[in-house]
Amino acid sequence: MTITQERIHAMASGFQPAKTILAANELGIFKLLAGKGLSAGEVSNALNLDAEACGMLLGALVGLKLLEHKRGKFHDAPDVKKYLGEDSDEGMSCILRHMNHLYESWASLDAVVKKGRGKIKAAPKLLSDRKINRDFICGMFEIGYPTARKFAEEVDLKGVGKFADIGGGPAVYPIAIGEKYPGINFVVADYPNTIKVARGYVKKYGMSKRVKLVDCPFFDTADLNIGDGFDMALLSQVLHAAPDGKAKGLLKKVFGILRPGGKIIINENARNDDAFSPAPPLVFAINMLIQNAGRTFTVSELKGWLKESGFRKVGARRLHERSVLVEGTRP
Ligand SMILES: C[S@@+](CC[C@H](N)C(=O)[O-])C[C@H]1O[C@@H](n2cnc3c(N)ncnc32)[C@H](O)[C@@H]1O
């Protein structure tokens, strides 16, 4: 793509529309306006906002085509209710709240690049703060469900009866896979607050009998302690959050819970082997830099780590720009 003045301006000013939609979501404007029309004064009163500032924010949202303004009232634009105004399978309000938590750390990027990781500002407490964790994990359901359904369509799960999802977050993979494969039972291992959020999803999707949820700080324990003899283990969007040593250590722990012939599948926002494409994992690496831990990997790096951990028949394929599946088999 050619670099033009216009393109540089669009990239550099991208934070302005981003923060406009994040602030409106955080303040509850889309939920308030879901399916109804209110004046600026009614919105600012209902949400206890400054009248002038609220009017300007509503105007910017009209400019961005997220709201419409008719006869003195603000309304949500078509489809905005489905994504931001209500809790639906296509809802996105949690992932936007998660982005809003990350936004502050991103603002310090230049300072982080000067001083290095962990020197500038504490990262949002994604695991230990209940609210931040809930927004993060619910957000993972919102953006993970389409990929999890694609996974269930494209990965051969015939013969799998026992499936471990390490760092399973909201249990989005067991839920999507379970819909297609009624014979599979799942164990989801994750940090305690995350497991509390997962419990709500597993119940909502009627999977409580088939998904066992286990408190397991998997990067930090010597063993996983979730049983063994698994036919398949998934590590989806997990390894990038840890320093290399802990990530490699986790692969060895997963090796230990699989039966001989059992498969590990890693799903990562991985870079191609040229190291500099596609764009999403390169920018996502910055997201890990500002959170003080983790990075993104090339596909070959992940394949090499699997081989080092004892896996054989190692292979990889890209599902989409933010998702590469790397798999191996325990001999
Ligand atoms: C990005 S989520 C992925 C969730 C799920 N596997 C998916 O693909 O949607 C990462 C998971 O790893 C866990 N985790 C452990 N240590 C973490 C850390 N330092 N940062 C972020 N997540 C961490 C979280 O509880 C979370 O469930």
What is the structure's pLDDT at 292? 81
Quick one: 126 and 14 in the same domain? no
What is the structure's pLDDT at 123? 82
Quick one: 114 and 55 in the same domain? no
Quick one: 74 and 137 in the same domain? no
Give the Cα-Cα-Cα angle 249, 265, 172 (nearest 5 degrees).
105
- Determine which residue's CA is closest to atom 17 belonging to ligand 1: 241
pTM: 0.95
What is the structure's pLDDT at 308? 98
Instruction: State whether the beta carbon of 126 lies less than 6 angstroms from ligand 1.
Output: yes
Instruction: State whether the beta carbon of 214 lies less than 6 angstroms from ligand 1.
Output: no
Residue 226: which pLDDT band, with cuts at 50, 70 and 90?
Answer: very high
What is the structure's pLDDT at 291? 87
Burial label for 248, CB within 10 Å (0-12, 13-18, 19+), is middle
Q: Which of 194, 195, 214 is the best mutation target for the ligand 1 pocket, counting ligand atoms within 8 Å of the beta carbon and taking the most?
A: 194
Quick one: 171 and 230 in the same domain? yes
Index of the ligand 1 atom closest to the CA of residue 140: 9
> What is the percent of the chain where pLDDT is above 70?
100
Quick one: 57 and 178 in the same domain? no
| CB-based burial, 107-144: b 16+ in 10 Å, e otherwise | ebeeebeeeebeebeebbebbeeeebbbbbbbbbbbeb
Instruction: State whether the beta carbon of 175 lies less than 6 angstroms from ligand 1.
Output: no
What is the structure's pLDDT at 296? 98
Index of the ligand 1 atom closest to the CA of residue 165: 6
The domain total for the chain is 2
Instruction: State whether the beta carbon of 133 lies less than 6 angstroms from ligand 1.
Output: no
> Worst-scoring range by mean pLDDT, 248-252, 290-294, 303-307?
290-294
Asked if pLDDT for residue 64 goes beyond 90, the answer is yes
Residue 36 is part of a domain; what is its CATH number? 1.10.10.10
Quick one: 13 and 128 in the same domain? no
Quick one: 113 and 188 in the same domain? yes
Asked if pLDDT for residue 121 goes beyond 80, the answer is no
Quick one: 60 and 126 in the same domain? no
Index of the ligand 1 atom closest to the CA of residue 218: 15
Q: Is residue 313 part of a domain?
A: yes
Residue 16: which pLDDT band, with cuts at 50, 70 and 90?
Answer: very high
Q: Is residue 306 part of a domain?
A: yes
Domain boundary residue among 63, 81, 99? 81
Burial label for 300, CB within 10 Å (0-12, 13-18, 19+), is middle
> What is the percent of the chain where pLDDT is above 90?
94
Average pLDDT, the chain: 96
- 226, 218 in Cβ contact below 8 A? no
Q: What is the mean pLDDT of residues 134-143?
A: 97
What is the structure's pLDDT at 129? 95
Residue 231 is part of a domain; what is its CATH number? 3.40.50.150
Q: Is residue 92 part of a domain?
A: no
- Determine which residue's CA is closest to atom 1 belonging to ligand 1: 237
Burial label for 65, CB within 10 Å (0-12, 13-18, 19+), is exposed
Instruction: State whether the beta carbon of 167 lies less than 6 angstroms from ligand 1.
Output: yes
User: Look-up: residue for tokens 């291992």?
Assistant: 189
Quick one: 36 and 118 in the same domain? no
Q: What is the mean pLDDT of residues 41-58?
A: 98
Quick one: 171 and 221 in the same domain? yes
Quick one: 190 and 153 in the same domain? yes
What is the structure's pLDDT at 119? 85
Q: Is residue 99 part of a domain?
A: no
Q: What is the domain range of residue 31?
A: 5-81
Q: pLDDT digit string (tens) for 147-163?
A: 999 999 999 999 999 99
What is the structure's pLDDT at 175? 98
Index of the ligand 1 atom closest to the CA of residue 293: 19
Instruction: State whether the beta carbon of 135 lies less than 6 angstroms from ligand 1.
Output: no
What is the structure's pLDDT at 88? 79
Quick one: 142 and 34 in the same domain? no
Q: Is residue 55 part of a domain?
A: yes
